[in-house]
């Protein structure tokens, strides 16, 4: 069987590292990177550290508005799908890559398998929620990480092709944790004591695109007594810079 497997963002790289290995044992997988994440620390470093195979194709869509990015993915992936003629297309999660790939495949009448189906925030203001709902409506196979996800789909009338398989990301944690523990020197580099620090990531648009929300998060982090490790998303870095500039202008 020939499978086109689509990735585009950090969580998808982690998940695909294990799944691709399993698929390759019995099938032909064409790994397609949409290029949604292209920064070295959000892209290349994952393929390097996870020792996963490089994508067979990179669509290089880069950043842009939701409409532009999704549209570019659809147009560029469609050309590849027509040429490769896969039996299945695998999408995962809730990114613009998920949405664009699902739409491109569905319009070519190619069956779609959605990994991490049924996840819901019940907040349609989140772009990710729209991506999840559309992918689940169009997918022929829906692989759910939790029983709650199965129930969410059933409540929406989706029962065919639904499979409760568990969380592939948890599998990745179990597989890569010993490797990370043996290789990583980040605690020493940052002068941290194990289990005596906090890790935070802020990248959802509801937090980064609203100055009041981001300001409140920063204020809360500054009140903590524990050391905080904050790997900053490029979008968050830009928002923080703008927030800092705004404050500087206020005090001028």
Task: Write out pLDDT tens, residues 119-169.
Answer: 999 999 899 999 999 999 999 999 999 999 999 999 999 999 999 999 999
Q: How far is CA 241 from CA 146, 231, 232, 234, 245, in A?
A: 38, 15, 12, 11, 6
- At residue 46, the pLDDT reads 63
Q: What sign for the dihedral angle of Cα 230, 132, 22, 86?
A: negative
Beta strand ranges found along 74-175 (DSSP E): 88-92, 112-115, 141-144, 162-164
What pLDDT shows up at residue 37? 63
Whole-structure pTM value: 0.84
Q: What is the pLDDT of residue 252?
A: 44
Catalytic residue among 27, 37, 203, 210: 203
The residue extents of the domains of the chain are 2-170, 189-251
Angle subtended by helix axes 127-138 and 96-107, to nearest 10: 30
Per-residue pLDDT tens digits for 205-249: 788 888 889 889 989 999 999 999 998 887 788 888 887 776 544
**Structural fold of domain 2-170:** Rossmann fold (3.40.50)
Residue-level pLDDT at 72: 96
Q: Render pLDDT for 131-142 as a digit per residue (tens, 0 to 9).
A: 999 999 999 999
Under DSSP, is residue 109 helix (H, G, I), strand (E, B) or coil? coil
Q: What is the pLDDT of residue 13?
A: 86
List the structure tokens of 187: 């605690």
175 is catalytic: no
Residue of higher predicted confidence among 20 and 155:
155
- One CATH from 3.40.630.30, 2.40.40.20, 3.30.559.10, 3.40.50.2000 for 189-251: 3.40.50.2000
Q: pLDDT of 54-98, one tens digit each?
A: 889 999 887 788 899 999 999 999 999 999 999 999 999 999 999
Domain 2-170 identical in fold to domain 189-251: yes
Q: Give the Cα separation of 61 and 99 in Å (integer).
A: 14
């Amino acid at each position: 069987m020939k499978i086109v497997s689509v990735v585009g963002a950090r969580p998808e790289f982690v998940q695909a590292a294990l799944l691709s290995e399993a698929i390759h044992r019995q099938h032909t997988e064409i790994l397609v990177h949409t290029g949604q994440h292209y920064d070295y620390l959000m892209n290349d470093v994952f393929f390097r550290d996870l020792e996963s195979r490089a994508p067979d194709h990179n669509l290089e869509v880069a950043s842009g508005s939701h409409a532009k990015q999704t549209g570019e993915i659809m147009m560029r992936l469609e050309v590849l799908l027509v040429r490769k003629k896969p039996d299945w297309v695998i999408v995962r999660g809730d990114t613009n890559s998920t949405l664009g790939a699902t739409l491109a495949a569905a319009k070519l009448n190619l069956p779609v398998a959605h990994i991490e189906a049924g996840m819901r925030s019940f907040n349609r203001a989140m772009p990710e929620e729209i991506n999840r709902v559309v992918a689940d409506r169009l997918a022929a196979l829906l692989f759910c990480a939790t029983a709650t996800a199965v129930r969410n789909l059933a409540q929406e009338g989706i029962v065919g092709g639904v499979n409760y398989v568990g969380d592939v990301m948890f599998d990745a944690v179990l597989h890569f944790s010993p490797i990370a523990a043996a290789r990583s020197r980040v605690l020493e580099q940052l002068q941290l004591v194990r289990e005596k620090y906090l890790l935070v990531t802020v990248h959802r648009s509801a937090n980064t695109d609203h100055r009041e929300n981001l300001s409140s998060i920063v204020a809360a982090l500054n009140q903590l007594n524990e050391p905080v490790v904050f790997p900053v998303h490029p979008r968050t870095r830009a928002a923080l810079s703008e927030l800092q500039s705004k404050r500087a202008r206020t005090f001028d």
